[in-house]
A and B are shown apart, each in its own frame.
Chain A
Amino acid sequence: MLLLSMLRTGYRYWRGQRPHVEDMEQIARYMRNRRARGLLAVPASLAGQMRGFGGSRTSKRVEELQTRKLRKTVEYVYRYVPFYHEAMDAAGVKPIDIRSLADVHKLPITRREQLCENGSAFISRYPGLIPAVAVQTGGTTGKPVQVCMTNEELQYYAVGEAITGMMTGWLGPAEIMQRHFSSEPSISGTIITAAAHKAGTLVIVPDHSDTLDDHVESIFCERDIPGKKRKVSLLMIAPPHLWALTRRAEEMGVDFSQSGLHRIQTGGATVTADLKQRVLDTWGIALHEGYGVTEAFTVAAGTCDQSERLHFTDMTGYAEALDPKTGEPVPPGEPGVLTITTFYPDRELMPLLRYWTGDLVILSPERTCACGIPTTQIVRIVGRVDHMVTVGVRNFYPQAIGDSLLGFAELVLPPRFTLRTEQRRDAQYAILDVEVKEDISAGERERLVQRIQNGIILSRYWEVRIGVVNLVVNLHSPGSIEHPFPYKHADLVLKQREERPLTGE
């Protein structure tokens, strides 16, 4: 049965089809049992063959597979996804026009506003698909974007992650994971937890009422659970939280060599070189960075083992960098807006064509990375082309921030403000500059600052409460903020985005 499952899974992968979850579950069980016996997830001979299979992946073969999947995706969305049927008809493109990757530019670009306003039109009408999971991310209009998936998709992603984690050796029944990504409605938290459970890993999620001290203590706490390591071995955490946690651990005078951590994985925000170095100097291990956007989560990128680049899994999607103004592809090596096409059937309920992430990146001109894998690589994440600000792991658009400032009558209304973040020695700082109507006394100023700190949307989150993110509010006289964030007019967001220089972030 196991052999049959393995053969069927291998064949379906090779054909560009999604394997059966039941087959993958059986493989995951087999790997888990081997790991529980202290063995590698798969016998060394088989691992060698699999490495051989991976190594034999040439640029040309990847491109062929991508082309096949792209054609299949375009046919599928044209037939079953109302939004794309309409958009392709409007652009005069038929599935037959898409024969190679070079034809991608004929396809319409999908923007976050469209997903936000017309979410249901992005859901496939393929018979038998049942939306069962809804995850949310910040929306440009202040309303969150809702992304749905089926239960089968969730199980597939989770078991896929479990198999990968066990094969690369970081997931297994002896491991204890401390996870700081919040669970639903966040996609990474949901999938990573389900994957860890399938691999037999114990997942500890610190309570939101815990402090940074509790988080540090939990990492060093000795646990006596049969079959498990004695201390937390995996840490899943957002970069600002990792920074603050490391700082707090230093202040507490912990002996980092006493930690049982052998992997730290970050996600939700970009990692600075300072943080990487700090983690290496303290915890003594390299940081594993993950890049992805919730809306197109099947096309995520992970750190290369031998370079600073981020690898895409080209099997599940197609990534391109576009000129922020013209929407045309930029030459590799030039900064452009990352745009992602998620392939069917890896993404079945809500596949996206050319999703405009708003992230400004530089893709590698080389198809083959320094580590020898032929894949699309992000050389650098330059910044954003819109006014979205990531605080902790949460994305905030001007609309949501402005809405939460409306309650303060002392402010210029509608609010004129800017928000930026800075990583300082102790924590990440979210700095809000906002205009007040007229001069107010020092005491009133202080009280207003405090009220804003307590009442603004950012303050609701636990990252602010426990000191992972510190909120600073600066009050300014009317008209003194030169380039306030666009607020109350969605078209202004788009207009200012166009006016903004590329290096503005």
Chain B
Amino acid sequence: MLLLAMLRTAISYGSGRRPRVEDMEQIIRYMRQRRERGVGAAPSSRAWRPERWAVGNPDRVRVLQARQLRRTVEYVYRYVPFYRQAMDAVGVKPADIRWQEDVRKLPITRRDQLCEHTEAFISRYPGLVPTLPVYTGGTTGKSLEVYLTTDELRYYAAARAISYLRGGLVGPQSIVQLHQSLDNSMEGLITSMAGRLAGALVLSIGDKGTLDDHVESILKERHIPGKSTKVTGLVTPPSHLWALTQRAEEMGVDFQESDLKWIITGGATVSEDLRKRVSETWGVRVFEAYGLREVVTGSAYQCPRSERLHFSDTGAYAEALDPQTEEPLPAGRPGVLAVTTFYPYRELMPFLRYRTEDLVVLSPDPVCVCGRSTTQILDIVGRADYVILVGENTFYPQAIGDSLLAFRQLVLPPRFALRTEQRQDAQYVILDVEVDHPLGPREEHQLRQRITKGIVFSHHWEIQCGSVKLEVNLCPAGSIARPFPYKHQWLVLDRRGD
């Protein structure tokens, strides 16, 4: 039965189909049992890496990608109302898309469109049932909602569990401490499901407890049969990792007493300072993951031998576009990352050329230093819009402005700017906002406090536990030279063009 499951999985990957979850779970059980016996999760033979048969050969990757692309375009044209209409509007038929070069004929998908016509992006393929909503910040102030099916969720979890087991990160002896919310966050849910499938005990801390509790939980001895005595893996956003490390230093913990073997971050980029700090304290490597909540399958993971981030080219197609002309840029130049997610890995809501607004530099060399042939992000330069990452959550000007409307002492509609700074103790979110008229020191203090409590992100767990701190600066009317665009959708788009 195991052999059959392996064969079927390999054939599915080889022909660009999504393997059966039941087969993958059987493979996971086998790998888990091997890990329990203290041997590697799988024999080292290449037969055990069916989804990576092509990764060392650029030509094979290209052929496989082109096949996936054609299949995706056919699928979305047939079943996704938004793309049928958009492709008809630009006069493109599925038959026009044969190779990667043809991608430029396809329409670009913008976040605003997804926000306003979510239901039109849902596939009408019979039998697909949306069960899991994933929320992320929307440009209009309303959260952007995308959906997954249960089968997709199980597939992502199984695929990650196999990758965890094979990479030796997680196994039946592991205890994983997870600082990602499991509600409305696909990433936390997949990590938690994958960890459990691989046999790890997953401690979902989520939004509970203080920084002290989090540090203590890492160092606490647990006597659970068959498990390591302490937490072996940590999954957390970079801002929280920074604050956690700072707090651990203040508490005077002996980092050598920790059993941590790896740390995975996600939701924001990792600075050089953080990498160095973690290496000097916890003494382990930080694995960085890049991805957007709404794109799901178009993620990138850190190369084991370099600082580059590898895209999974068999699951998606990544390109860098000129922010203004939206034409593809030559690799090596900073451009807006656009991602096309391949069917059937993304089945309920596949995207064509989704404009992430992340400014990235892609590697001109198709083969990485580690030998894998894959698209690589050399650097994440910044954003092409006004989104601000607070902890692991994204906020657009509209949502921030809306939450400032209640403060009558401010210039209304609010004129404000927001930025983040990584300081010694934590990440600081600095809000500059204009007041309508000068206030006395007591009034200023009270207003600052009310804003600190009332602003949209003040209830997120990172702020509550102190891993992100909020600073409010009250500025005279008209003194903020370039306030964030607010209340006018066109202004956002216009400024993005600047």
Contacts and interface: CB of A to CB of B under 8 A. Distances in A.
B236 to A, nearest CB: 16
Contacts of A198: 150
Given A184-B192, A202-B130, A130 B199 contact: yes
A465 B453 CA distance: 11
Interface string B123-164: 010011111110100000000000100100100000000000
Nearest to A172: B129
A465 B459 contact: yes
B172 interface: yes
Interface in A281-327: none
Given A132-B195, A151-B196, A183-B182, A203 B131 contact: yes
Interface in B430-471: 456-461, 464
Contacts of B223: 120
A226 B182 contact: no
Contact of A208 (B131, B222, B459): B459
Contacts, number: 104
A91 B460 CA distance: 51
B281 interface: no
Interface string A9-53: 000000000000010000000001100100000000000000000
B154 to A, nearest CB: 9
Given A33-B127, A200-B150, A207 B199 contact: no
A200 B184 contact: no
A148 interface: yes
A125 B131 contact: no
A134 B133 contact: no
Interface in B231-275: none
A94 interface: no
B201 interface: yes
A33 B22 CA distance: 18
A148 B206 CA distance: 17
A154 to B, nearest CB: 7
A160 to B, nearest CB: 16
B326 interface: no
Interface in A188-217: 196-198, 200-205, 207-209
Interface string A164-184: 000000000100000000111
Interface string B327-365: 000000000000000000000000000000000000000
Contact of A131 (B128, B150, B201, B208): B201
A130 B182 CA distance: 22
Interface string A121-137: 00101001011111000
A181 to B, nearest CB: 10
Contacts of A226: 119, 122, 124, 130
B129 A120 contact: no
B386 to A, nearest CB: 20
B135 A134 contact: no
21 contacts: A120-B222, A120-B223, A120-B224, A123-B224, A123-B225, A130-B36, A130-B226, A131-B227, A132-B202, A133-B196, A148-B224, A183-B183, A183-B206, A184-B204, A197-B131, A197-B150, A201-B131, A202-B147, A209-B460, A226-B124, A462-B459
Interface of A: 22, 32-33, 36, 120, 123, 125, 128, 130-134, 148, 151, 154, 173, 182-185, 196-198, 200-205, 207-209, 224-228, 460, 462, 465
